[in-house]
Chain A
Amino acid sequence: MNESNTLILRTAALFLMPLQLLFSVFLLLRGHDEPGGGFIAGLVASGAVVLFLFSYGVREARSLLRVDPRDLLAAGLLFGLASVFPALLVGDPLMTAQWWYLPMPGGGTLKLSTPLIFDIGVYLTVVGAILTMVFALSQAESDA
């Protein structure tokens, strides 16, 4: 994928990408009770990176991401796996959801849970898988 030369896309991408990434985190966190979740959030986040790739090219996108997408993929799989085991520590059957409530300064409570860990795993796996594919395809095209 050769980078685009249009000024509008390049400028817009710089504004849109942070918004998209923020929105993906929002989707990830609300996903447990409301529409959203790791999968759709991962798609939105990889959409942000792909938009950047379209306007600035694959090399810039790789250096923006800093880590190899395959590492994200692996981390996601390990997160997903890790969410299975906390249940065993408290003596519940495997995969039973565990919740931890942390009181926050200012009166609120932070709800953490194994489904959240699993969702983060899904998020990272989706981002990693899609970016691995898109990077490989655009690399092949720019090398050709």
Chain B
Amino acid sequence: MSLAALPILVPLAAGALSVAFWRSVAAQRAIALAGTLILLFVSILLMQQVHSEGFVVLHMGGWQAPLGITLAVDMLGAIMVLLTGITGLAIALFSLGDTPERHEKFGYYPLMHLLLAGVAGSFVTGDIFNLYVWFEVMLIASFALLTLGGERAQMEGAIKYVTLNLFSSAIFLSAVGILYGLVGTLNMADIAQKLGQVEDTGMVNVVAVMFMVAFGIKASAFPLFFWLPASYHTPLVGVSALFAGLLTKVGVYSLFRMFTVVFDHDVAYTHTILLWVAALTMLSGVLGAAAQFEFRRILSFHIISQIGYMILGLALYTPLAIIGGVFYIMHHIIVKTTLFLVSGVTYRLTGTHELSELGGFYRERPMLSVLFLIPAFSLAGMPPLSGFFAKLIVIRAGIEAEAWTVTAVALLVGLLTLYSMVKIWAEVFWKARPEAEDGVQRPEPRTEGLVWMYVAITGLAACTIFIGLNGQPIYNLAEVAAEQLMQPQGYIDAVLEGRP
């Protein structure tokens, strides 16, 4: 039996159940934990199925491929769903400890499940219009989560976030429409097959660039990335960690999907644009981070620069580069979520995100310091952590492709990332905590629920080390994913098998 629909159904069911139990916060918490645990379990099963069968395809409602909506999971999709499961569980654990009851009463958990359903749906669908629908599901859930609490800064961030994301959706939808006009189908595999016969290649390039812009905005790629640092530091830490880990990566995933399986007709044109986008995204992200002195804003700008590495992997378009890109996504989702969650703990203990007001954590909380150091060094690319292998593969691919400029940029950005992480380390953990002004007594930090937050962070940090120490098996997974992407005929055949 095909398991492709389960990663969508599980969070949807959990979300509907938590709405049904809206009177009881305790029940919603239990459902949040159980739902994300089952999602993780299901995603592991799906990964196994993909690993043994190659492609897992499900024609919804029994309508065969080009006609109905088809769910099609390849290795890349399975990897992304697995990461969704891991991140979802970590966020649920963290939320148990950190979400104020006011947010829980206003539907925090149903929205979280809805967001996870949207993310998982984007990863399993094989239909371009269905992908658009899942994007909208995500956008609605994320908009509600972003504004939950209703503070002024949140509204300001949310307006930028929603405006640009709606703009991107409009471009996405127009591109789907034009594409449908060209090939008369919405199934990605069918589109890929029929695009080769379209004579008007100029038009195909226009559509390709429209998709590039739409997904580029979602992925926060240069030049339309500024909505991300404007909004990601405003909601609850659990919410920004969920966004940071998963949302932009849905954009990156869509770029990987569309610009390998579907738009591979004019690589010299499309992927050269992507190459420049990658270099500029890396640079602008890391330079933006250097100018910031707020914990979550620094991390937000680093999301952007890391997105650049992933797009670089796609843009080089060699098998090794795609492996690097996929590996980078795996590493990044886990590491970035961990870093945001660490900022949640420091915020809980001090009540501030400003680097200048933080300090002294190395002396007071050595354990937390280690939990920060692991993902921070991993992000900067220190061996033997996951980020080292991710960067190594991408840069190696860059050298082999003799793309000297972007490779140099990637190396430089790695160095500047280390600078940012050292800055956080020095300010938050190393330096003594500044005295409160005018001798005001600091309020005692609230420690209830802290253990849940530590459990989530420790689990994710263990994942980082696990990826670092098991580089080869993970590399093999990424290799399978890359092979399937570089030779899309397998995907196309699997989806269109048994067509009328």
Counting CB contacts under 8 A, is B321 at the interface? Answer: no
Nearest residue (CB) in A for B12 is A81
Given A81-B12, A81-B16, check contact A74 B5 (CB 8 Å).
no
Contact among B9, B12, B21, B61 for A93, CB-based, below 8 A: B61
Counting CB contacts under 8 A, is B494 at the interface? Answer: no
Contacts of B13 in A (CB 8 A): 81
* Cα of A130 to Cα of B19 in the assembled complex, Å: 15
Nearest residue (CB) in A for B107 is A70
> Which chain A residues (85-100) contact chain B, with CB distance < 8 Å?
87, 92-97
**Residues of B contacting A: mostly:** helix
Contacts of B2 in A (CB 8 A): 93
* Cα of A77 to Cα of B16 in the assembled complex, Å: 6
Counting CB contacts under 8 A, is A131 at the interface? Answer: no
CB <8 Å contact, A78 and B16? yes
Counting CB contacts under 8 A, is B271 at the interface? Answer: no
Contacts of A87 in B (CB 8 A): 61-62
Counting CB contacts under 8 A, is A84 at the interface? Answer: yes
Counting CB contacts under 8 A, is A75 at the interface? Answer: yes
Counting CB contacts under 8 A, is A122 at the interface? Answer: no
> Which chain B residues (15-29) contact chain A, with CB distance < 8 Å?
15-17, 19-22
Contacts of B58 in A (CB 8 A): 93-94
Q: Closest CB-CB distance, B150 to chain A, in whole Å?
A: 13
Nearest residue (CB) in A for B21 is A74
Q: Closest CB-CB distance, B22 to chain A, in whole Å?
A: 5
Contacts of A73 in B (CB 8 A): 19
CB <8 Å contact, B16 and A96? no
> Which chain A residues (46-104) contact chain B, with CB distance < 8 Å?
70-71, 73-75, 77-78, 80-81, 84, 87, 92-97
Q: Closest CB-CB distance, A97 to chain B, in whole Å?
A: 7
> Which chain A residues (3-17) contact chain B, with CB distance < 8 Å?
none
CB <8 Å contact, B59 and A74? no
Contacts of A95 in B (CB 8 A): 60-61
Given A81-B12, A81-B13, A84-B9, check contact A74 B61 (CB 8 Å).
no
Q: Closest CB-CB distance, A75 to chain B, in whole Å?
A: 7
Contacts of B62 in A (CB 8 A): 87, 92-93, 96
* Cα of A95 to Cα of B13 in the assembled complex, Å: 15
Q: Closest CB-CB distance, A57 to chain B, in whole Å?
A: 24
Contacts of A94 in B (CB 8 A): 5, 58, 60-61
Nearest residue (CB) in B for A94 is B5
Q: Closest CB-CB distance, B72 to chain A, in whole Å?
A: 13
* Cα of A143 to Cα of B120 in the assembled complex, Å: 42
Contacts of A96 in B (CB 8 A): 61-62
Nearest residue (CB) in A for B22 is A70
Given A81-B12, A81-B13, A94-B5, check contact A70 B61 (CB 8 Å).
no
The residue in A73, A74, A92 that gathers the most chain B C-beta atoms within 10 A of its C-beta is A74
CB <8 Å contact, A78 and B20? yes
CB <8 Å contact, A74 and B16? yes
CB <8 Å contact, A75 and B20? yes
* Cα of A30 to Cα of B143 in the assembled complex, Å: 35
* Cα of A87 to Cα of B5 in the assembled complex, Å: 13
* Cα of A96 to Cα of B2 in the assembled complex, Å: 14
* Cα of A73 to Cα of B15 in the assembled complex, Å: 12
Q: Closest CB-CB distance, B483 to chain A, in whole Å?
A: 28
Q: 1/0 per position for A85-128, CB-CB distance to B under 8 A?
A: 00100001111110000000000000000000000000000000
* Cα of A95 to Cα of B9 in the assembled complex, Å: 11
Q: Closest CB-CB distance, A99 to chain B, in whole Å?
A: 13
* Cα of A74 to Cα of B20 in the assembled complex, Å: 5
Contact among B9, B12, B22, B60 for A74, CB-based, below 8 A: B22
Q: 1/0 per position for B1-44, CB-CB distance to A under 8 A?
A: 01001000100110111011110000000000000000000000
Contacts of A78 in B (CB 8 A): 16-17, 20
Q: Closest CB-CB distance, B262 to chain A, in whole Å?
A: 25
Nearest residue (CB) in A for B5 is A94
Contacts of B16 in A (CB 8 A): 74, 77-78, 80-81
* Cα of A74 to Cα of B21 in the assembled complex, Å: 8
Nearest residue (CB) in B for A78 is B16
Task: List A residues at the B interface (Cβ < 8 Å).
Answer: 70-71, 73-75, 77-78, 80-81, 84, 87, 92-97
17 pairs of residues in contact across A and B, judged by CB atoms under 8 Å: A70-B19, A70-B22, A73-B19, A74-B20, A74-B22, A78-B16, A81-B9, A81-B16, A84-B9, A87-B62, A93-B58, A93-B61, A94-B5, A94-B58, A95-B61, A96-B62, A97-B61
**Closest 5 pairs (CB-CB, A-B):** A74-B20, A77-B16, A74-B19, A95-B61, A96-B62
